[in-house]
Amino acid sequence: MTHSIKDNPITDKKAMHQKTIADIIAGLNAGEFTSVEITQHYLNRIKQLDGTYNSFITVNEESALAQAEAADKRRAEGDAPALCGVPIAHKDIFCTNGVRTSCGSKMLDNFVPPYDATVVENFANAGAVVLGKTNMDEFAMGSSNETSFYGPVKNPWDTNTVPGGSSGGSAAAVAAHLTPGATATDTGGSIRQPAALCGITGLKPTYGRVSRWGMIAFASSLDQGGPMARTAEDCALLLNVMASFDPKDSTSIDREVPDYTANLNQPLDGLKVGIPKEYFEEGLNPGTEQAVHDALAELEKQGATLVSISLPHTKLAVPAYYVIAPAEASANLSRFDGVRYGHRCEDPKDLRDMYMRTRAEGFGDEVKRRILVGAYCLSAGYYDAYYRKAQQVRRLIKQDFVDAFEQVDVIMGPTSPSPAFEFGAKGDDPVAMYLEDIYTIATNLAGLPGMSVPCGLVDDKPVGLQIIGNYFDESRMLNVAHQFQQVTDWHQQAPTGIDVEGAE
C-alpha cells in the first residue's frame, strides 16, 4: 500500500522529513527552522525506525548536531554555502576521518580512517550535515544488500523484500525518509537498481566525473560515486557538490563542472529518445514493461520522439562484467591481508597462516567467490581466454552506445527486470542474482552516465525508468527526469509505516 504526499493532509505544511533537499534549503534560507531542528528530527526518526530497516551501520548523533550548530552559525553570519545545514548520509564505502568505515565487511569492522574521501570533503565544504554511514553489500558486491556483515537492509515498501544493492542502505534510508539524500556508488548498477526497487531517484555520473579518492575500490575501471534522493532536482543539487576534478585521483577528468540545476526546466520538444529492442525481450516483468511504456508515452506528450534502436552486444554485458569486475576486485582486495589495518586472525603461526585465516575470517562468501573467479581469470594460461576477451567485448559494447548516440539524445528502458524480490529468493543461484543488473551493467562498461527515476508500481512495489546519457551529459538526463517528475507523482509516493507517532 502507498500514499502520495500530494494526498497527505499535511501537504500545505510538510513535515520536515517530507521536504525535499530543495525544500530544506528554502526553509533554512527563510528561517522556518534551523539546521539543528531538522537534524534532530532525522536523528529521532533513525532512532525510532531504523531498527526495522537496518539502513545505517553508524549514526553520528553527536557530530551531526555539532555540524548543524556550526551550519546555523555560518548562516547567521551570512556565510551559507550550497548545502549549508542540509542533513545527508554517506554510503559506508567513503572514508570518513575519525568515523568507522567498514565497507559492509568484517574485514574493516574496526577501521577508522585518518582522512576524508574527496566526496566527503566536498560535502563538508558545502556545509552539509552527516547523519551517519549507510549499510551496503560487502565491498559493494551484491544486488540485494544481503551480503553485508551487519545484516540485510529491508526495503521500506515491503520488509520481506530486498532494497537492491549494493547501495541498498542509502536507497532504503531515502525511501523511509530517514535522510533527504545520500551518497552511493555504482559499479554495475548499484545506484540505479536500488533506486528503482526503493522508489527513489539515483544517478551514476560519467566515469571520472566524481572523484574515487578515498572511496574503497571494488573494480577500479567501473566504480563511480553518485547521489540518491527523492527527486531529480535534489540529485542535481547533490551532484553539484560531488562532481569535481581531483588531482589525487588519476582517473578524475579535468573538466569544468556545470550547474546541474541550470537546465532542469528546459522543455523536451525535439528530444530524441532511443528505445533499445534488447531491453524489452524475455525476462522483463510484464508489469514493469507496461510502467516503462506508460512513462515513455508521458514523455511523448511533452514533445519527445521515440526512436527504436539496437544495442546488439547487450547480452554479452553480464558475462563480460563478471570477468572484468572480479579480476579487478581480486587485485584490489589483495591489500586486505591483516598486516596494516582491518581484521587480523588470532595467534597466526606464520605469515602465510595469517594471510589465509585473516581472509577466510574477514571476507564473506560472495567476496570470496569473486576473488576466486577474478584470480582464475587473471592466471597464466587463462588471461587471454577470459580477461582479454572480456575487454574486447567491452569495446564492442561501448561502440554500440557511440553508434546509438549518433541517432538519439538519450536512451531509455527499464532499470531492473522486476520489482523487489523476497530475501533468499536468488541466494542459491548467483547467476540469477547477477541478471538483476542486466540493464545497468553496460553503461558502466562503457563509462556512460545513467539514472533511474520512479515510474510506477507493480504489486504495490516501485519500478524504475532508466535514462542513459552521452558522456558528460548529466544535465540533459536530469532535465528529462525533472520534466517527467513535473507531470507524474511516482517520486512522491512513499511506503506506509514511515509516518509513525513520535517520528513525525
Task: Render pLDDT for 307-356 as a digit per residue (tens, 0 to 9).
Answer: 999 999 999 999 999 999 999 999 999 999 999 899 999 999 999 999 99
Provide the grid cell at 278. 534488447
State the pLDDT at residue 12. Answer: 40
pLDDT, mean of residues 457-477: 97
CA gap 137, 190 in Å, rounded: 10
Measured between alpha carbons, how far is 172 from 168 in angstroms, rounded to an integer? 6
Whether 381 is covered by a domain: the verdict is no
Residue 304 has pLDDT above 90, yes or no: yes
pLDDT at 501: 57
Query: What per-residue confidence (pLDDT) applies to 130?
Result: 98
Q: Rg of the chain over CA atoms, in angstroms?
A: 21
Residue 501 domain-assigned? no
Nearest to 452, CA basis, from 284, 174, 204, 154: 204
pLDDT, tens digit, 9 for 90 and up, residues 116-137 = 999 999 999 999 999 999 999 9
Q: Which residue has the higher pLDDT, 171 or 501?
A: 171
Q: What's the structural domain count of the chain?
A: 1
Task: Judge whether residue 138 has pLDDT over 50.
Answer: yes
**Residue 195: predicted pLDDT:** 98
Q: What pLDDT is recorded for position 5?
A: 39
Predicted confidence at residue 426, as pLDDT, reads 80
List, for residues 195-234, the tens digit of each pLDDT value.
999 999 999 999 999 999 999 999 999 999 999 999 999 9
439 part of a folded domain? yes
What is this structure's pTM?
Answer: 0.95
Report whether pLDDT(161) > 80.
yes
Nearest to 162 by CA among 177, 141, 143: 143
DSSP 388: I
Q: What distances in angstroms separate CA 18 from CA 184, 343, 486, one per listed residue?
A: 21, 40, 17
The answer to whether residue 98 scores a pLDDT higher than 90 is: yes
Does position 74 have pLDDT exceeding 60, yes or no? Answer: yes
Establish if 391 belongs to a structural domain: no
Report the catalytic residues: 91, 166, 190
Q: Is the pLDDT of residue 139 over 50?
A: yes
Write down the mean pLDDT value for the chain. Answer: 94
Q: Does the residue 1 lie in any domain?
A: no
pLDDT at 502: 56
Q: Is the pLDDT of residue 9 over 70?
A: no
SS3 content of the chain, % helix, strand, coil (to 5): 45, 15, 40
pLDDT for 504 equals: 56
| C-alpha angle 66-231-18 in degrees, rounded to nearest 5 | 55
d(CA 344, CA 68): 37
Contact yes or no for 237/373 (Cβ under 8 A): no
All cell numbers assigned to 96:
570518513
Q: What does the pLDDT look like over 40-73, one tens digit per residue? A: 999 999 999 999 999 999 999 999 999 999 999 9
What CATH number should be reported for the domain holding residue 126?
3.90.1300.10
pLDDT over 60 at 497, yes or no: yes
The pLDDT assigned to 503 comes to: 58
* pLDDT bucket at 81, cuts 50 / 70 / 90: very high
Share of the chain above pLDDT 90, in %: 90
Confidence of residue 360 (pLDDT cuts 50, 70, 90): very high
Residue 383 has pLDDT above 50, yes or no: yes
Residue 263 lies in a domain: yes
Mean pLDDT of 150-176: 97
Q: Domain range spanning residue 58?
A: 7-312+398-495
- State the pLDDT confidence band at 4, using cuts at 50, 70 and 90: very low
Q: Would you say residue 284 has pLDDT above 60?
A: yes
pLDDT band at 433 (very low <50, low <70, confident <90, very high): confident
Per-residue pLDDT at 160: 97
- Residue 322 belongs to some domain of the structure: no
Distance CA 474, CA 451 (A): 9
Cis peptide leading into residue 148 (ω within 30°): no
Residue pLDDT, tens place only, 386-427: 999 999 999 999 999 999 999 999 999 999 999 999 999 887
pLDDT level of residue 14 (50, 70, 90 thresholds)? confident
What one-character-per-residue DSSP string does 195-264 give?
HHHHT-EEEEPPTTSB--TTBPPSSTTT-EEEEEESSHHHHHHHHHHHB---TT-TT----PPP-TTTTT
Would residue 371 count as lying in a domain?
no
